[in-house]
Every structure is written in structure tokens, then in C-alpha cells.
Amino acid sequence: MDFDDISLDEFDAQRRDWIRLGSTSAEGICQLASRYRNNRDDCLLRSMHCGSFNFSWRLHWDDGGDDWLIRFPLPGKSMVLDEKVYREAIVMQYVEKNTSIPVPHVIAHGAGHENPTGLGPFIIMTWIDGKPISEVLRKEGTDPKDKIINPDADEQTLRTLYGQMAEILLELWGLDFDRIGSLGQPESESSNKPYIDGRPLTIEFNELMRTCGMKESIFPSRVYHSSIDYITSLLDQQSLHLEQQRNSIYDSNDYRQKYTCRHLMKAIALNFIDRDDNYGPFKLFCDDLCPGNVLVDDSLRLVGVIDWEFCYAAPAQFAGSIPWWLLLQRPHTIISYQGPDAFFDAYLPKAELFLQVLQQKEEERDTSPSDNRLSYRMRQSIHNKTAWFTLACRKVASVDLIYWDMLDGFCWGSDQSVDERVHHFTTSIEMHKNREDFVRRKIDELQKYYSELGVDKQVEYEEEEEYGQQSRLESGDSCLSYKTPLFLTGAVGILSTTIAVGCFVRWFRR
């Protein structure tokens, strides 16, 4: 999927304007931070740090106290700035109060209108010295942005660093929530009870607005009370994105594949949602919790976990899935360049090592063996493919690659090509017509997008290639057989409002 370059240009202009303002605001930044340091007048900006979504300055005073970090969400990179800062500050305070995870202490935070510099909302927090785990594990000589794991990393180093990550995940696994969404301010300062009062603020929400041109108004702005409800919403967003981003496709066949992928994701969804977890308890999940945001000292001792943005109470299967970051690179990047077999050849040995370390940490905590052990849940997520389904739900830009390479054959069998699967999905005349009407409309939108962008490129509607008429479902080789008919009947009823599941029911009952 390509980004919407027209939308990106607009946001990039916002980013450049903010950086110009920030480059002349040193005095104002120091004055703002010094409000919370007894109005001292010896503030020094020691260093600048530009991340994926934020711009920060390290601050120092000659009073013998800790250095601080003042951080601003970067317009054009971050969306809904005030909400993002507020939610992150609340999560950091909650984690600091309810776990032993070392997080920066929040000194202060404020909305844009509370910042006289004009730089927008801010968080001031204690500075933590340390080196990201990703830097320790990264292959020497590679670009730091690539984050390729060193294939020669010794096992003891991996065990030590995986152990630090496991401790963090176990701490978070111990936090329970009764709804899905973002944390809000507790009802009282003395209350330890988590309060969920906002929509889940995710990286995908941010990126769909930034890179795809989608408007904030189309996203649901509510909390969720069941895993089915939330995952259905994510899958609906993927369909909505396909329809609304003008250059979400490359050609007619690309649209057909993406259209089919999204409908089949909805059709298989109920087979990857644990009934026992549907109504909670839900778990704190952080989209960007990875080795790049976990700091260690020279002895590989954990000293801090940073960047708590995009953290929210989520379905337990999100936190209970085997982590994607065991190879540092994102799975879809490896699969795209090397294929799924190469990914699993490299990933599964690391997953086994991580699970061994995680289980050892559980035993040290005297956690009794049970199906709710995090190590058990993560191991199951590999075997039953829940980990990859969950990842596909969360990643709009990667859903097609993950579905076709990691889920489709598991669910429907592997004796058909993608094009054959696409053709056989729309066997009814009505479904086929509706899909082809969408194809024609998307091709027209794509041509208009190229014209507006000033690109001399012509795209035209192309007829679908014909294939045989046998439907894959007739063979009976399907992941749907893993769930009981009773559950399927009830679950399909719950999701009957979605077009895809309705189509699936008609298809499955032939």
C-alpha cells in the first residue's frame, strides 16, 4: 500500500513550521520547565532528540538534581496532540504507581493552550540514562533504523535481554481492566482502580490519519466492552480505509485481492477470539513496547522503559500473543523481502528461547501453572495462529501480506492460488457485481489522484481472469472446524450486522 503523498505533504509542512518555531524557542522552553523547578534561571538545554512522533530536549540545572526531559508531540507526525499527551502521562503515572517497571517520573504535563511557547502540549519527565536493548542486539555495521538483529548474538546475552523484556510483560499482564480503551484520571488521588474513559489511542489510528488522509471524524470515539466488539471495529476500519484512501490500490486485481482479504478476515475472526476472554479482564497493551524503547545499563540491567504513547486496555489476546519484536524487525518487513518460510526459520527458534526465559521468570514469581500463564498463552498463540491474526487486525498497511502468507492457507487450505481464492469468494452474481462496481470506482479515484499529484500515469479497469468454479470451503479443510457449531452459530449472530460475515454464512451453508 502506498501512502497518500498529498496528505503527507500537508502534514510535512506542519512539521517543518513547528521545527522552525522550536529552533528559536530555547528561552521559552527553559522558562516553561523552570516553573516546576522553583523558577530557577540557570536552565541549560543539553541535547535534542527527534523520534518518530515527538521532539524532545534534555534539560539541566546546576542544583544537583536530576536532568529532565521536556517532550512535545511533533505536528505532522502526531495527530490529536492534546489527547495523545494526556493519555501518555496518565499511563506513565499509573504504571509507576502499580508496577515495579522503571519509568520516567512525570513532573508535569499540559495541553497546548497551557504552553506559552506556542509549541503545543508537553510532558516534563525525569531523564533516564541508558542504551536501548535494540542497540545491544543490533547487527554491527547496519543502519540503526533497520534494526536487524545480530545473528551471532550469544545465547546468554539473548537470555538476559529477553529476560528483561519478559519481566516487563509479566508486570503488565498482572494489570486488569473492565473495558477496552485509554486510561483516564482516577476518581481520586488515592484510588488504585483503573479508569477507562477514552477510545483506544493506537499507532494505526495515528498513521491512518497521517499517511492515508483519513479524517478523525470517521473513527469511533468510544470505549468497548468486549473483544468481539473491538476487533470487529478494527476490521471495519480496514474496509473503510480500502474504500476511502484514493490510492489504496495499484490496479483492478490488487483491489479484488484486498477486498477479499478484508471480507475473509471478518469471516475467520470468531475462530481467533477466545470466548473466555471476550468480556475481560482486559490487559494493558502498548503498540510501541519493543526493545527500542527499553533501556539497559552497561551491565544489561534494566534502567527504564520509555515512550508510553499508544498504550491502552486491549483484548487479552493482544498482550497474550507472542511478541513480534524478537528479531527486532517487524514480521511484515522480513516476509516482504524474504518470504514467510525465511521468517519462521529465523523467528521460531527465538520464540522458543523467549518462552523458556518467560517460563523461568514465572516460576521465580511462583506463578502456578495454568492456562492463564502468559507463557502458555503465547505458546498457544503460535500454534493456533492467533498471534498473526491479532497482528493483522492491528496493522492496516500489512493486513494483506499477513493474511495471504500466514492465515489463508491455515484457514482454507493451500491448494488454490490467491487469484483463485479471490475469484471463488464472490461466486454469487450479486456479490460479484457489487465488488466490480467498487473496482471501477476505485480505479476512477486512483486516476484522479494521479492527476492531482501531477503524475503522468494511466490506469484502467481490467476484467477478472476466469477460473474453475469449485469453492475451497466444499473440501471441509478449514480453520472453522476448530470451533464448535454452537459457538459459530452464536458468534455469527453477534456479528451479523457486518456484510462480510453475512456473506460468509451464506457461503458456508451451501
Question: Which pLDDT does position 498 carry in this prediction?
Answer: 41
Determine contact, residues 60/46, Cβ cutoff 8 Å.
yes
Cα–Cα nearest to 234, from 195, 208, 260: 208
Q: What count of other Cβ atoms lies within 10 Å of the Cβ of residue 430?
A: 9
Q: Find which of 130-144, 161-175, 185-199 is predicted with most confidence, using mean pLDDT.
A: 161-175
Secondary structure class of 510 (helix, strand, coil): coil
Dihedral sign for Cα atoms in the order 409, 411, 415, 419: negative
Contact criterion met (CB below 8 Å) for 170 and 358: yes
* Residue 393: partners with Cβ closer than 8 Å, 6 or more residues away: 231, 234, 235, 265, 399
Quick one: pLDDT at residue 497? 38
Question: Domain 1-128 is in which class?
Answer: alpha beta
Give residue for cell 458456508.
508
From residue 122, how far is each of 38, 87, 109, 289, 373 by CA, in Å?
19, 12, 5, 21, 38
Report the Cα 470 to chain-centroid distance in Å: 37
User: Which contiguous run of DSSP H or E holds residue 107?
Assistant: strand 106-110
Residues 6 or more apart whose CB falls under 8 angstroms from that of 27 comprise: none
Of 394, 324, 380, 313, nearest in space to 165 by CA: 324
What is the arithmetic mean of pLDDT over 373-388?
96
Strand partners, 122: 110
Q: How do residues 98-135 score in pLDDT, each as one tens digit?
A: 999 999 999 999 999 999 999 999 999 999 999 999 99
Which pLDDT score, from 0 to 100, does residue 214 have? 93
3-state secondary structure (DSSP) of residue 18: helix
Q: Give per-residue burial for 407-416: e unless 16+ CB within 10 Å, then b.
A: bbbbbbbeeb
Q: Are 137 and 148 in contact (CB under 8 A)?
A: no
Show Cβ contacts of residue 190 under 8 Å, excluding neighbours closer than 6 positions: none
Residue with cell 494483506: 400
Calculate the CA 184 to chain-centre distance: 20
- What is the pLDDT averaged over residues 330-353? 95
Amino acid at 408: D
**Side-chain half-sphere exposure of 436, counting CA atoms within 13 A:** 14
The three three-digit cell numbers of residue 484, written as one number: 464448535
| Span 283-336, pLDDT tens digits | 999 999 999 999 999 999 999 999 999 999 999 999 999 999 999 999 999 999
Residue 441, H or E segment: helix 429-453
Q: Quick one: DSSP state of residue 427?
A: -
The pairing of beta strand 68-73 with beta strand 106-110: unpaired
447: which 3 cell numbers? Answer: 486516476
Tell me the C-alpha distance between 238 and 230, whole Å.
13
**Rounded average pLDDT over 264-272:** 95
User: What's the mean pLDDT in 360-379?
Assistant: 86
Q: Which three cell numbers stand for residue 323?
A: 511478541
**pLDDT at residue 53 greater than cutoff 70:** yes
Three-state SS for 282?
A: strand
**Model pLDDT, residue 43:** 95
pLDDT tens-digit map of 225-258: 999 999 999 999 999 999 999 999 999 999 999 9
Which set of grid coordinates corresponds to residue 263? 471480507
Place of cell 534494566: 302
For the chain, domain boundaries: 1-128, 249-272+412-508
How far apart CA 194 and CA 427 sit, in angstroms, is: 49
Q: Which amino acid is at 425?
A: F
Give mean pLDDT, residues 456-471. Answer: 77
- What is the C-alpha R_g of the chain? 24
For residue 198, the SS3 value is: strand
